[in-house]
Amino acid sequence: MKLKINIGAISEPLQSEKFKTGDWGTEWAVVDKEKCTACRVCEQFCPDGCIEVVEVEGKKFAVVDHNYCKGCGVCASVCKYEAIRMELKELFKLEVC
């Protein structure tokens, strides 16, 4: 008899694309397109692989897929151009009267 033990939310390697995990955190990364130099450091360090550099109308910049961004902040930490900031998701913003 073979016993299978699952540890964590995603049990098999390379299966996380099937699960939109962007709602796990309270913050997510927001890219300032004007400051971004498309150096790809954030893309390389993102543990979830949810950042890619795109080109729109001749301008290259990083784009974050918020369906998978868990808000760890690694991208904002490694961006030496300060082009990425962590922003509280709308769901967690409270309006105080």
72 vs 13, more confident: 72
pLDDT tens, residue by residue, 14-36: 566 677 888 888 999 999 999 99
- DSSP string covering 50-88, please? -EEEEEETTEEEEEE-TTT-----HHHHH-TT--EEEEE
Domain ranges of the chain: 31-89
- Give dist(CA 40, CA 13) in Å, integer: 25
User: 31-89: which CATH number, 3.30.2270.10, 3.30.70.20, 3.40.50.1820, 3.40.50.970?
Assistant: 3.30.70.20
- State the residue for tokens 């009267």: 97
23 vs 9, more confident: 23
Band (1; pLDDT cuts 50, 70, 90): low
Structure confidence at residue 62 (pLDDT): 98
- Give dist(CA 61, CA 50) in Å, integer: 14
* Over residues 75-95, mean pLDDT: 92
Handedness of CA 62, 30, 68, 72 (dihedral sign): positive
pLDDT tens, residue by residue, 40-83: 999 999 998 999 999 999 999 999 999 999 999 999 999 999 99
